[in-house]
């Protein structure tokens, strides 16, 4: 890669973004009352000098305040995997909030049992409880795992992401021992007191850590999706299940992103048998929603524990969790939008996207790789594809990534910030995918010139 050329191209695309986005640029410059100038500090993770401001979004399209339309492959980093404001969710939310009235009354609605039964059909776990975010689903699952095992530690994979969960902000350090993830903000204590860590795809490393006998649960994505996509090698996940059983640790599958693998995520697609499962983002069709599922046996054991306060201030739950609006949105999303049929179509489109990216990489003989997990595809600047989170983290190239994101955005295509990741929704079309293939190839041509 000619770095001088890359640098010049990035500067050119940055200037072009400013030319195209005067209103976004001005809104950002004027946002002096916001911490970091944005409603949430992550929104500063944008290629270029300012974020594009949202005007509206429908299906697979986003429009910004400068009047530009984008094909959206970011889809709110999975929150909008059902497409933006899908009609059945819009109707259900309007009915619940406006017609019937009542979003948050601390009373159950009949929709909740429908959603629980559907999650059981899809993922296999027998009992469900709701949250508003995947982070909270993970936090509460962790607490329940500690309570039921009486063990203090949680084991995660290096460079995993499970939300802002304290226990998960640990990586394998250069000496092979667990250490705080770089940038960990205000950790409540040394993370090695609460957590253990192993590399993804490393059963020997996992066994070494589990053998201490102090791990309540392994919290993992069946494929890493937050440091590129790192797919499991054959027999790895079976090995994880065997080892967790042998050493008395529970297994929590976080399917928040791996839901892209199919209607029941990787758990159903690959016949996995977790003790607990967490999910968030996509299942609310854009309305905040999350859930955790547990086996009947685990649920019964927990409910029989009279020392655990599961009803009031024992540390599990939230005032707005499971509220009528959130549950109505989940029902509409699962019943009418992210259906089994929709996953079949989204996966086909993702295969087409993957083929397009691969063709570009092959044409310019780039040492890059592409990985796909159902409806989600990601490319990484190395080949073969990384086997672990640490390997994947080592090959990140922020300047190259920024160039590609900006080049695409300036031509009407959004990828997921933090990644070179593209997700399909039920409204994505073959033409959308082909447009990406063309613009991606043009970006590579500029780099190669």
Binding region for ligand PMP (CB under 6 A): 77, 133-135, 161-163, 221, 226, 254, 256-257, 280-281
Closest distance to ligand PMP from the beta carbon of 388 (Å): 17
Closest distance to ligand PMP from the beta carbon of 168 (Å): 9
**Residue of minimal CB distance from ligand PMP?**
163
Distance of CA 46 to the CA centre of its chain: 17
- Which one-letter DSSP state was computed for residue 187? -
**Residue length of the chain:** 449
Please tell me the distance from the alpha carbon of residue 396 to that of residue 205, in angstroms, as a whole number.
Answer: 24
- Annotate 43-109 with DSSP letters as a single string: GG--SSSSPPPEEEEEBTEEEETTS-EEEESSGGGGTTTT-BS-HHHHHHHHIIIIIII-S--S---
> What is the side-by-side strand order in the sheet with 127-131?
127-131, 290-294, 276-280, 250-254, 215-220, 153-157, 195-198
The H or E element that residue 302 is part of is: helix 296-303
- In the bound state with ligand PMP, the residue whose beta carbon lies nearer, of 10 and 154, is 154
Q: Are 194 and 152 in contact (CB under 8 A)?
A: yes
Query: 220 pairs with which residues across the strands?
Result: 253
Closest distance to ligand PMP from the beta carbon of 76 (Å): 10
Closest distance to ligand PMP from the beta carbon of 144 (Å): 17
Closest distance to ligand PMP from the beta carbon of 17 (Å): 25
Closest distance to ligand PMP from the beta carbon of 132 (Å): 8
- In the bound state with ligand PMP, the residue whose beta carbon lies nearer, of 136 and 402, is 136
67-71, long-range: CB < 8 A, 24+ apart: 68/20, 68/21, 68/412, 69/412, 70/409, 70/412, 70/413, 70/414, 71/412, 71/413, 71/414, 71/428, 71/432, 71/435, 71/436
Q: Are 188 and 222 in contact (CB under 8 A)?
A: no
- In the bound state with ligand PMP, the residue whose beta carbon lies nearer, of 135 and 369, is 135
- In the bound state with ligand PMP, the residue whose beta carbon lies nearer, of 13 and 254, is 254
Please tell me the distance from the alpha carbon of residue 287 to that of residue 268, in angstroms, as a whole number.
Answer: 24
Is 224 in a helix, a strand, or coil?
strand
- In the bound state with ligand PMP, the residue whose beta carbon lies nearer, of 135 and 350, is 135
Closest distance to ligand PMP from the beta carbon of 225 (Å): 6
- In the bound state with ligand PMP, the residue whose beta carbon lies nearer, of 287 and 361, is 287
- In the bound state with ligand PMP, the residue whose beta carbon lies nearer, of 151 and 281, is 281
| Cα-only R_g, the chain | 22
- In the bound state with ligand PMP, the residue whose beta carbon lies nearer, of 158 and 256, is 256
Closest distance to ligand PMP from the beta carbon of 167 (Å): 13
Is 179 in a helix, a strand, or coil?
strand
Which two three-digit tokens encode residue 45? 């993770």
Q: Is 26 exposed, middle or buried (0-12, 13-18, 19+ CB in 10 A)?
A: middle
Closest distance to ligand PMP from the beta carbon of 181 (Å): 14
Closest distance to ligand PMP from the beta carbon of 15 (Å): 31
- Which one-letter DSSP state was computed for residue 386? P
- In the bound state with ligand PMP, the residue whose beta carbon lies nearer, of 134 and 266, is 134
- In the bound state with ligand PMP, the residue whose beta carbon lies nearer, of 77 and 354, is 77
Q: Is 368 exposed, middle or buried (0-12, 13-18, 19+ CB in 10 A)?
A: buried
- In the bound state with ligand PMP, the residue whose beta carbon lies nearer, of 194 and 256, is 256
| Closest C-alpha among 95, 221, 240, 230 to residue 161 | 221
Closest distance to ligand PMP from the beta carbon of 255 (Å): 8
């Amino acid at each position: 890669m000619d770095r001088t050329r890359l640098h010049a191209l990035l500067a050119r695309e940055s200037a072009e973004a400013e030319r195209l986005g005067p209103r976004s640029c001005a809104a950002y410059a004027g946002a002096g009352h916001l911490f970091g100038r944005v409603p949430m500090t992550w929104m500063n993770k944008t290629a270029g000098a300012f974020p594009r401001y949202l005007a509206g979004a429908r299906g697979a399209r986003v429009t910004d305040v400068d009047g530009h339309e984008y094909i959206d492959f970011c889809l709110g980093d999975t929150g909008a995997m059902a497409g933006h404001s899908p009609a059945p969710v819009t109707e259900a939310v309007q009915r619940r909030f406006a017609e019937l009235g009542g979003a948050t009354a601390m009373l159950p609605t009949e929709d909740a049992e429908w959603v629980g039964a559907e999650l059981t059909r899809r993922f296999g776990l027998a009992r469900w409880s709701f949250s508003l975010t995947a982070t909270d689903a993970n936090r509460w699952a962790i607490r329940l795992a500690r309570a039921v095992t009486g063990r203090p530690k949680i084991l995660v994979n290096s460079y995993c992401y499970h939300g802002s969960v304290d226990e998960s902000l640990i990586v394998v350090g250069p000496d092979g021992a667990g250490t705080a993830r770089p940038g960990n903000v205000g950790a409540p204590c040394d993370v090695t007191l609460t957590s253990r860590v192993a590399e993804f795809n490393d059963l020997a490393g996992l066994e070494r850590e589990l053998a201490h006998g102090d791990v309540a649960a392994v919290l993992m994505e069946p494929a890493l999706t937050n440091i590129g996509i790192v797919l499991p090698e054959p027999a790895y996940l079976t090995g994880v299940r065997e080892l967790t059983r042998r050493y008395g640790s529970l297994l929590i599958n976080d399917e928040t992103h791996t839901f892209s693998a199919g209607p029941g995520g990787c758990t159903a697609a690959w016949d996995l048998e977790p003790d607990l499962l967490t999910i968030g983002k996509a299942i609310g069709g854009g309305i905040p929603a999350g859930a955790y599922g547990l086996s009947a046996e685990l649920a019964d054991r927990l409910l029989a524990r009279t020392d655990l306060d599961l009803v009031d201030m024992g540390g599990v739950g939230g005032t707005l969790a499971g509220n009528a609006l959130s549950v109505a949105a989940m029902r509409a999303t699962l019943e009418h939008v992210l259906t089994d049929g929709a996953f079949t179509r989204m996966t086909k489109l993702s295969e087409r996207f993957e083929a397009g990216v691969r063709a570009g990489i092959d044409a310019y003989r780039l040492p890059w790789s592409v990985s796909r997990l159902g409806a989600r595809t990601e490319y990484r600047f190395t080949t073969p594809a990384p086997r672990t989170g640490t390997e994947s983290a080592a090959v990140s190239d922020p300047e190259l990534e920024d160039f590609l994101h900006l080049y695409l955005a300036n031509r009407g295509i959004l990828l997921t910030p933090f990644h070179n990741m593209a997700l399909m929704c039920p409204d994505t079309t073959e033409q959308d995918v082909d447009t990406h293939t063309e613009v991606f190839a043009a970006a590579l041509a500029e780099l190669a010139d």
